[in-house]
């Protein structure tokens, strides 16, 4: 990510917090949001909060919930997430981290949207660019909340009385914001270039918007729109969150490989797919994502633990905003769920594109390098099962296996006896996360926690 003024970051950190008192920084904050020269820094500060703070816990919490990680010590946060069920408390630091940092970065997006129309820019394309990017950012934060919570807020509230909506309404709200952003960028190519050149060294905001719309439409069961949006993504164009390796480190590297990192959890053998969806022998995604040296066995089940490779091998490694394989699989899933012989045939063809993809044929070097699928192409259930298996391998540690598994297997945890279940054989240990205690203590609208 490109460099940001330390002073501006300090102002942004103050502006993003919920305050129950008046302080002198409010005057500074108001001035910042009415100063055109401040907006590149505001946009980068908002992005930095997500890419370093929120993304850290988006990988960690859901990674343990969906068995991508194994537990390496007795740290209580890690124990709770690995156990799942009712063991996750509302003060779990990783769960609180996702909730807090998504709301924090969304708060900045909302301030941009609320103030920018009153700001006079020398180049009016900047106003279009920053407002549309803020709309994208608000959509993205709502979407991530809907990935992990049963009900979500769609607006921050300074009085701590934010209203909650069903997560599916959250996805639809996110799509509405993405549509607004897309229209702005479609009508102003200069605005799109401003964002692409500012946010990262490889970024295509128009492709990113299509990719996120595809994610949210597939969650809503709007399969034709999901297919169309995924189909609109240029799979040869990279979009990444970038890190300088110094003040702004790759957050997964910082947690798992940095010399100062604590040994709390590590990637599991076979990408954590150690039950019904074990990868095929020779699946190249295993060697792409995992080092080949066994570090230890996880403390719960005795499975081998490894260091990560892939997008987390160094402090300045880029993290993809989305992967080409995800778009192919969304298209495959959409066709398989629409049903019919022709749609199933196309779904299998798309599965085979993912399975046979080599590192040389993928912009990020992710390739299974396998043969075509040998399952029953006329069995929609079998086709969907293979699609899930490839999602799980292709999108390792992207924070997406948890919601994808729940989408494919919504009844997976029904009837579980948490006192007797063998958690080592579970692929997912929660349906949704509890609401953080800080939200419950301050917001009278906070819903009851889900059963698990």
Residue 329 in 3-state DSSP?
helix
- Nearest Cα to 132, choosing from 65, 71, 62, 206? 206
φ/ψ (deg, to 5) at 289: -95, -25
Residue 394 has pLDDT above 80, yes or no: yes
Tens of pLDDT, residues 229-265: 999 999 999 999 999 999 999 999 999 999 988 889 9
Question: Where are the extended beta strands (E) located within 308-403?
Answer: 319-320
Tell me the average pLDDT across 370-394: 97
Phi, psi dihedrals of residue 97, rounded to the nearest 5°: -65, -45
Q: Which domains does the chain have, with CATH numbers?
A: 6-442 (1.25.40.390)
- Vertex 269 angle, CA 55 and 93, to 5°: 30
Percent residues over pLDDT 70 in the chain: 94
**What is the pairing mode between strands 304-305 and 265-267?**
unpaired
Tens-digit pLDDT profile for residues 141-182: 999 999 999 999 999 999 999 999 999 999 999 999 999 999
Spell out the long-range contacts of 372-376 with Cβ–Cβ below 8 A and sequence spacing 24 or more.
373/348
3-state secondary structure of 71: strand
In whole angstroms, give the CA distance from residue 281 to residue 251: 30
Lowest-pLDDT range of 6-20, 26-40, 46-60, 431-445: 6-20
Q: H/E element holding 6? A: helix 6-16
Q: Which of 422, 315, 434 is nearest to 61 (CA)?
A: 434
Q: How confident is the model at residue 1 (pLDDT cuts 50, 70, 90)?
A: low
- For residue 407, pLDDT beyond 80: yes
In this structure, the number of other CB atoms found within 10 A of the CB of residue 304 comes to: 18
Coil, helix or strand for 397? Answer: coil
Q: What H or E segment, with its residue span, contains residue 305?
A: strand 304-305
Q: Determine whether 95 is exposed, middle or buried from the number of CB atoms within 10 Å of its CB (0-12, 13-18, 19+).
A: buried
Q: What is the average per-residue pLDDT within 404-413?
A: 98
- CB count within 10 Å of CB 212 equals 23
The 10 Å Cβ neighbour count of residue 258 is 15
Radius of gyration in angstroms for the set of CA atoms belonging to the chain, rounded to a whole number: 21
Residues 352, 372 contacting (CB under 8 angstroms): yes
pLDDT beyond 50 at 376? yes
- Sign of the CA dihedral running 65, 69, 73, 75: negative
Tell which residue, 411, 267, 407, has the closest CA to residue 329: 407
- Reported as a single tens digit per residue, the pLDDT across 263-321 is 899 999 999 999 999 999 999 999 999 999 999 999 999 999 999 999 999 999 999 99
- Angle, to 10 degrees, between the axis of helix 55-65 and the axis of helix 76-83? 50
The two three-digit tokens of residue 312, written as one number: 């987390």
Q: What pLDDT is recorded for position 154?
A: 98
SS3 assignment, position 265: strand
Q: How many other C-beta atoms are found inside a 10 Å radius of the C-beta of residue 236?
A: 9
């Amino acid at each position: 990510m490109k460099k940001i003024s330390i002073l501006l970051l300090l102002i942004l950190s103050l502006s993003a917090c919920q305050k129950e008192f008046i302080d002198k920084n409010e005057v500074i904050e108001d001035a910042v949001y009415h100063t055109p020269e401040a907006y590149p820094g505001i946009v980068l500060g908002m992005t930095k909060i997500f890419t370093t703070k929120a993304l850290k816990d988006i990988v960690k919490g859901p990674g343990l919930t969906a068995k991508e990680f194994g537990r390496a010590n007795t740290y209580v946060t890690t124990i709770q997430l690995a156990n799942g069920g009712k063991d996750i408390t509302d003060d779990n630091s990783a769960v609180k981290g996702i909730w807090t940092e998504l709301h924090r970065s969304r708060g900045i997006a909302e301030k941009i949207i609320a103030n920018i129309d009153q700001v006079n820019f020398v180049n009016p394309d900047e106003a279009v660019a920053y407002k549309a990017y803020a709309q994208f950012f608000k959509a993205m934060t709502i979407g991530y909340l809907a990935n992990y919570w049963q009900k979500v807020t769609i607006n921050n509230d300074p009085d701590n009385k934010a209203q909650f909506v069903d997560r599916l309404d959250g996805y639809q709200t996110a799509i509405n914001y993405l549509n607004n952003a897309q229209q702005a960028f479609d009508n102003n190519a200069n605005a799109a270039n401003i964002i692409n050149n500012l946010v990262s060294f490889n970024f295509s905001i128009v492709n990113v918007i299509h990719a996120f719309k595809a994610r949210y439409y597939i969650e809503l069961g709007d399969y034709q729109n999901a297919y169309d949006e995924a189909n609109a993504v240029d799979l040869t164009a990279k979009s990444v969150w970038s890190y300088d390796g110094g003040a702004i480190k790759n957050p997964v590297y910082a947690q798992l490989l940095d010399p100062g990192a604590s040994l709390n959890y590590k990637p599991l053998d076979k990408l954590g797919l150690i039950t019904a969806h074990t990868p095929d022998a020779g699946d190249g995604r295993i060697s792409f994502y995992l080092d080949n040296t066994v570090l230890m066995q996880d403390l719960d089940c005795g499975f081998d633990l490894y260091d990560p490779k892939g997008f987390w091998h160094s402090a300045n490694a880029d993290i993809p905003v989305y992967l080409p394989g995800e778009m192919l699989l969304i298209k495959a899933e959409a066709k398989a769920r629409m049903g019919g012989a022709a749609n199933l045939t196309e779904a299998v063809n798309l599965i085979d594109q993912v399975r046979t993809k080599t590192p040389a044929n993928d912009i990020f070097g992710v390739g299974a390098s396998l043969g075509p699928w040998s399952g029953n192409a006329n069995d929609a259930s079998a086709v969907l099962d293979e699609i899930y298996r490839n999602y799980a391998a292709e999108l390792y540690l992207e924070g997406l296996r948890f919601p994808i598994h729940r989408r494919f297997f919504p009844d997976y945890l029904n009837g579980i006896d948490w006192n007797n279940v063998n958690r080592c054989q579970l692929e997912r240990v929660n349906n949704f996360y509890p609401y953080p205690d800080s939200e419950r203590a301050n917001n009278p609208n906070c819903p009851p926690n889900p059963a698990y």
